Structure 1
Amino acid sequence: MKKTNILKNGALGALVLSVTFGCASTQQEEPAAAPAAKKDTACQAELAAAEAARKKAASVGGEWRDTGKILKSAKKALAAGDVAECIKLANKARRQGEMGYAQALEQRDNDVNSYTVERGDNLWNISGKDSIYGDPYQWPLIYKANRSQIKDADLIYPGQDLSIDRAVTSAAVNAAVQHAKTRGAWALGVVEESDKAYLAR
Structure 2
Amino acid sequence: MKRILNGKALVPVVLALGLVAGCATTPKEEPAAKGPSEVSQAIDSAKSAIASAKSVNWIWRDTEKFLKQAEAAAAKGDDATAIKLANKARSQAELAVDQYYLETAKVLYAEAGNASGLTAEQKSTLNAAGIAIGNAEGRKAYDLLNPLVTELRAASIKVEVVRGDSLWSISGKSDVYNNPYQWPLIYKANRDQIKDADLIYPGQTLTVDRNPTAAEVDAAVDHARNRGAWSIGVVEESDRNYLGGSLELK
Higher share in helix:
1
- If asked which structure has higher relative contact order (CA below 8 Å, sep 6+), I would say 1
Given the two structures, how large is their TM-score scaled by the length of structure 1?
0.48
TM-score by length of 2: 0.40
